[in-house]
Chain A
Amino acid sequence: MKTYRQWKKIAKKIAGFQADVILFLIFFIVLCPLSLLFRKLSKNNSFKEQNVRIYWVKRKKTVHDITWARLQ
């Protein structure tokens, strides 16, 4: 049992390290080039609004019923 607990601790550390490495690679290999591309081409408002001066935005009129409430 003690050995298992120790192994779990070590495994957790390895998992954390692995996650860091994988995320690091995804970030530089996928996200950074995509970022450049998106900045030039994006029509997505949520994306573009990050760096433009925006003020009051009218909220979209949506019906707030149970179907809406089930959406995450």
Chain B
Amino acid sequence: MGEVTVVYILGISCYYHDSAAALIKDGIVVACSDEERFSRIKHDSSFPKKAIQFCLEKEGITSKDLDFVVFYEKPFIKFERILLTSLYYAPKSLSLFRESMKEWFFDKLWVKSHIISELKIPSQKLLFSEHHLSHAASSFYCSPFKESAVLSIDAVGEWTTTSWGIAKGNRLDLKEEIKFPNSLGLLYSAFTVFAGYEANEGEYKLMGLAPYGKAKYKKEISNLIDVKKDGSFSLKREYFSYQYDLTGVYTKKFKEVFGDRNVMPDKVIEYYADIAASIQSVFEDMLLKIVDYIYSKTTTPNICFAGGVALNSKANWLILKKTKFKNLYIQPSAGDSGGAIGAGLYIYHHVLGNNRSYMMDRVYFGTSNDNNEIEKFLLTKKISFVKSKNDKDLIDQTVDVLSRGKVVGWVQSQAEWGPRALGHRSILADPRFSYMRDIVNTKIKFREAFRPFAPSVIEERADEFFDLGPYKNQLPLRFMQLVVPVAKKKRDKLGAVTHVDGTARPQLVDKETNPLYHRLIHEFGLKTGVPVLLNTSFNLKGEPIVNTYEDAYKTFIKSGIDVLVLGKHIIKKSKK
């Protein structure tokens, strides 16, 4: 009998933001993580050494066992873009040139030798995908679809900012693209910065602020863009400076139209809320035009969406509601970190010609916490805890504290992949009363008061609480990627998780992929009549989501969380 050959591919994304590694075994994702979870630096862009080590250790292999290592983009083409942009915009591009050249000459140009020396692999094993191909592949090859349209939109890759294509079986072909500096992602980021938030970080905040305002400035914003019927667009350069300036994103002319930057972004200021509503509305209109165009070219009922822009969960819902596409898939980590998965899968399927057998319907690929280790840690640190006898006991005790208005830090088994905490590294609370939102915000998260919290609901009863229409079985609902209306009759029962516009971004929890969390919500429902929990990521403002039980304990001590559940162990905060 011949030996069975296993193909291991390691995908890597790094050097921009959210660096990550993913290990793919015969086309199946077996381990993946963002580097930030280990380094504890939010949006860490450095080489993902620890994430790679985690992936290899999890599978019990070394870098020698890897068949290929794939970097998620083509660095030389990206360098060409930066060089030509500096050249074109000189002398205005001095800061771009100076800072970029330092970054590129010290680090980014040597990606190849860096990876080879870090992993000690022969150079033939190192491959490079393209930024938008990696995004598109991360969505399609993880989707349940045999055939689909694919759409990838983010700030910028090598040259491309937006691209679409068709995928069938193991083939993925991008057909058309829009190039830098015309970028929907950068347009949204420009207004994010204008509203007082940080680009690549504050886009969620702008989205959360939008429902507080009215789209009064749509016309003014539309004047900055030339949009065609087919959804393609061109930004008017005189209003934007991100092409050539690293320190600013918009010009004086932009300020003449919209005024000065928001200096109080923590508060809801009517003008900036109106701006947020306006840019969200313009953005949605543009996205829907693009999606309609893609449908006219592909006429498949399925679409896979990827890139940082696919994290705009408000707009994602409209793709299902307002276009002819019937099914939507978004890989849980749609941004740059997801490129690590996409790069590996693209090589495995499209380049090497292997068939598909994989679908990503869950997100638990990260660090695992062993109950024995947790106990050892608690005993060593002399931390008093109660060890639950079994799952029922654990859930009964947790439901009891939750229903008494306490806030619970909940850490179970493997960490989530992607930016959302989906019931393994979560802070949980009772969603029924709006004051719970203020408690979680002021005692624990310390974030802007206007930002909503998301609910987790058991899948079989999601219809009762949210107006999901025929889209209940869409996988993005499991990954908290769609903002949907809360059922009018239930809004008063979900005071802490219903946003000001009557929407929420629910996570539908199913029994099969998330049994313990499902049971917890189910039991909470039996006790309170509401099978829903407020679920927010287990981290403090400015920190990455906790990874290990030690991270969780540190966060627990620093914050106002009342009870910490680490695996089977329940720790209550002492009154001291």
Interface residues of A (CB under 8 A from B): 19-20, 23-24, 27-28, 31-32, 34-35, 38-39, 44, 46-47, 49-51, 53-59, 64-66, 68-72
Q: Which residues of A contact B101 (CB under 8 A)?
A: 23
Q: Which residues of A contact B233 (CB under 8 A)?
A: 55
Q: Which residues of B contact A66 (CB under 8 A)?
A: 127, 351
A34 to B97, CA, bound (A): 14
A7 CB, min distance to chain B CBs, angstroms: 20
Q: Which residues of B contact A19 (CB under 8 A)?
A: 102
A61 CB, min distance to chain B CBs, angstroms: 9
A58 to B127, CA, bound (A): 25
Q: Is B268 an interface residue (CB 8 A)?
A: no
A-B residue pairs in contact (CB < 8 Å), sample of 25: A24-B98, A27-B91, A27-B94, A27-B98, A32-B90, A34-B90, A35-B87, A35-B89, A38-B88, A39-B88, A46-B80, A46-B159, A47-B87, A50-B181, A51-B237, A53-B226, A53-B234, A55-B178, A55-B230, A56-B232, A57-B176, A57-B177, A69-B128, A69-B351, A72-B76
- B90 (CB) vs chain A CBs: closest residue: A35
Q: A20–B98 contact, CB under 8 A?
A: yes
Interface size on B, residues (CB 8 A): 50
Q: B128–A71 contact, CB under 8 A?
A: yes
B88 CB, min distance to chain A CBs, angstroms: 4
Inter-chain CB contacts under 8 Å: number: 105
> Nearest 6 pairs between A and B by C-beta?
A55-B232, A35-B90, A69-B127, A53-B234, A56-B176, A72-B76
Q: B179–A38 contact, CB under 8 A?
A: no
Q: A56–B127 contact, CB under 8 A?
A: no
Q: A50–B128 contact, CB under 8 A?
A: no
A44 to B90, CA, bound (A): 17
A55 to B347, CA, bound (A): 29
- Contact string against A for B residues 97-117, beta-carbon threshold 8 Å, 1 for contact and 0 otherwise: 110011000000001100000
Q: A69–B228 contact, CB under 8 A?
A: no
Q: B347–A69 contact, CB under 8 A?
A: yes
A65 to B127, CA, bound (A): 10
A16 CB, min distance to chain B CBs, angstroms: 8
A44 to B230, CA, bound (A): 26
Q: Which residues of B contact A54 (CB under 8 A)?
A: 178-179, 182, 234
Q: A59–B163 contact, CB under 8 A?
A: yes
Q: B86–A50 contact, CB under 8 A?
A: no
- Contact string against A for B residues 144-182, beta-carbon threshold 8 Å, 1 for contact and 0 otherwise: 000000000000000100010100000000111111011
Q: Which residues of B contact A69 (CB under 8 A)?
A: 70, 127-129, 347, 351
Q: A47–B129 contact, CB under 8 A?
A: no
A56 to B163, CA, bound (A): 9
Q: Which residues of B contact A39 (CB under 8 A)?
A: 88
A68 to B347, CA, bound (A): 11
Knowing A64-B351, A69-B128, the reply to whether A57 touches B175 (Cβ < 8 A) is: no
Q: Is B42 an interface residue (CB 8 A)?
A: no
Beyond contacts A50-B88, A57-B178: 4 other A-B pairs, Cβ-Cβ < 8 A, are A19-B102, A23-B97, A64-B133, A69-B70
- A55 (CB) vs chain B CBs: closest residue: B232
Q: Which residues of A contact B163 (CB under 8 A)?
A: 59
Q: B176–A72 contact, CB under 8 A?
A: no
Q: B178–A32 contact, CB under 8 A?
A: no
Q: A49–B74 contact, CB under 8 A?
A: no
Q: Which residues of A contact B88 (CB under 8 A)?
A: 35, 38-39, 47, 50-51
A35 to B81, CA, bound (A): 14
- A53 (CB) vs chain B CBs: closest residue: B234
- A36 (CB) vs chain B CBs: closest residue: B90
B186 CB, min distance to chain A CBs, angstroms: 14
Q: Is B222 an interface residue (CB 8 A)?
A: no
Q: B177–A59 contact, CB under 8 A?
A: yes
B205 CB, min distance to chain A CBs, angstroms: 31
A29 to B94, CA, bound (A): 12
B167 CB, min distance to chain A CBs, angstroms: 13
Q: Which residues of A contact B226 (CB under 8 A)?
A: 53
Q: B87–A31 contact, CB under 8 A?
A: yes
Q: A56–B178 contact, CB under 8 A?
A: yes
Instruction: Determine which of B102, B111, B176, B182 lies in contact with A23 in the assembled complex, contact meaning CB atoms within 8 Å.
Output: B102
Instruction: Determine which of B90, B228, B350 lies in contact with A64 in the assembled complex, contact meaning CB atoms within 8 Å.
Output: B350
Q: A50–B177 contact, CB under 8 A?
A: no
Q: Is B84 an interface residue (CB 8 A)?
A: yes
